[in-house]
Amino acid sequence: MATAALVEKASALVAAHPRPVPPIDLEPYLLALAVKDIRERGEVGPEGALLARDEGFDIAVPAGLSLGERRWVVAQQLAAILASSFARPVDLGPAALELLLPSGVFGPAALDAGPTVESMPALAARFLAPLRPVAERFCELVAFRCLAAFWHPLPTGELVLNWQVASPELQARFSVRAKVSPLDPPFASYGTGRLSYGRGRLSLGGPLLDYYIESVKVDEGVLSLAILERHAPLLAAAARRGLGPARH
């Protein structure tokens, strides 16, 4: 319940300012929460830190971040300020998502983008946000069940799971030790640099079953999207042809 209450506070902060457009301008939230400065500090962790000062705060961010990563750290620390009145620690992630990727703005954008793996990098660029929180928000708000995962290459040539996110109602997950071959059709994009797709085996808590998976090379890894709908290939193809968002 504390997490939901914190998200409500984040939503109220978003609603108190003119309707945002991507990329979300965080400056009004910084002013509203008395953040005076954002500083790079080499000794802070990846999530950043709050530094109290007279009548407000500074936000410390790690050095060497991309703009999207820096904005995500700032959103998390804004959520920490909103959570400062809570008696117990609370997960800051959902509130940070609401600040950087507000549901009322990101949701329609994700639906318009459609059920394709390329939608997530495109939305990350549009919202100036890191890929992982964008993928998490994408899986949460789109009108189809899906699981997104990012894979890193090993010296052996295999791809190993780095992170994964899924639609809230799904228990589907790859094993945390999962490895896949770039020779498998759903993951061939690592070698070709082009979109790849096919059937992959995924457990929903029971036996392994075949699901439609498509992947695209992103930076030094592979981003995959498993679409857990009966007509997944047709939904993705329709979105690529510009026939509108896919809904089930």
- Summarize pLDDT for 147-191 with one digit per residue, the tens: 999 999 999 889 998 999 999 888 667 776 778 888 888 889 988
The amino acid at 53: R
Supply the DSSP symbol for 234.
H
Q: Which CATH code for domain 104-240?
A: 3.30.450.130
Six token digits for residue 200 = 């992959």
CA-CA-CA-CA dihedral for 126, 235, 146, 183, to nearest 10: -90
Overall average pLDDT of the 63-68 stretch: 96
Six token digits for residue 163 = 């992170």
- Summarize pLDDT for 81-138 with one digit per residue, the tens: 999 989 899 999 999 999 999 999 999 999 999 899 999 999 999 999 999 999 999 9
